[in-house]
Structure formats: C-alpha cells, structure tokens
C-alpha cells in the first residue's frame, strides 16, 4: 500500500508575493511614492505582514536576495541622500505618504 499525503492548508502565496517583491525592488517603490525602498514599503505594496516577508526570505533564496537588495538600496539611498542634503531631516506630522494606503 502506497502512503500518499494530500497537502493540508491554504496554498502558499509565495509565488505572487515574490513577483510583487521583484516589482517593488525594480522601481515599484518609486511608483507608489516611497522616498526610499523599505521592508515596510514592501509589506504595503504586497499586502503582506513584515513577519510573513521575513518567513518567505527564510524559506526561499530568491526572496531572501530581494530582501537583501531592498536593504542595500535603502542604505545606499539614505547615506548618499543625506550626504548630498537631499533628504529632509525634519519629519512633519502633517505630511502624508504619497501613493496608495497600506492595507494589511
């Protein structure tokens, strides 16, 4: 007798989230009005919680590379933007995020 197991639970949403992560890294962050790319921005862009994104990064090498790419680009933009005086050091509460609202 062959013991076969049926998958249990919901299908993984990793493939769709991976595509969204690629889009975000390759310029989607600018299209939604983010000043710099962030994991929080990816969470809003993909509609996933940050913990879920980190879980995906632990499970999938390509997703992990995308997360690392976002963090590296973020660091580069913050350092260079700060040194060039392009980033505003003052954050005002009346300024709102430009782009779509984050709905998780």
At 2-49, the pLDDT tens digits run: 555 556 777 889 999 999 999 999 999 999 999 999 999 999 999 999
Instruction: Tell me what pLDDT residue 53 has.
Output: 97
- What's the per-residue H, E or C state across the chain? CCCCCCCCCCCCCHHHHHHHHHHHHHHHHHHCCCCCCCHHHHHHHHCCCHHHHHHHHHHCHHHHHHHHHHHHHHHHHHHHHHHCCCCCCCCCCCCCCCCCCCCC
φ/ψ of 93, rounded to 5, equals -65, -25
> Is the Cα torsion angle 68, 32, 91, 87 positive or negative in sign?
positive
How many residues in the chain?
Answer: 104
pLDDT band at 96; cut points 50, 70, 90: low
Q: What is the mean pLDDT of residues 54-68?
A: 97
Q: What is the mean pLDDT of residues 59-65?
A: 97
Question: Is residue 98's pLDDT more than 80?
Answer: no
């Amino acid at each position: 007798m062959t013991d076969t197991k049926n998958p249990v639970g919901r299908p993984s949403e990793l493939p769709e989230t991976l595509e969204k992560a690629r889009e975000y890294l390759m310029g989607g962050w600018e299209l939604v009005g983010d000043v710099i790319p962030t994991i929080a921005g990816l969470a809003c862009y993909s509609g996933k919680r940050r913990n879920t994104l980190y879980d995906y990064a632990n499970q999938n090498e390509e997703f992990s590379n995308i997360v690392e790419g976002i963090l590296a680009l973020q660091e580069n933009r913050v350092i260079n933007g700060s040194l060039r005086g392009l980033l505003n050091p003052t954050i005002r509460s009346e300024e709102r995020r430009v782009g779509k609202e984050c709905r998780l």
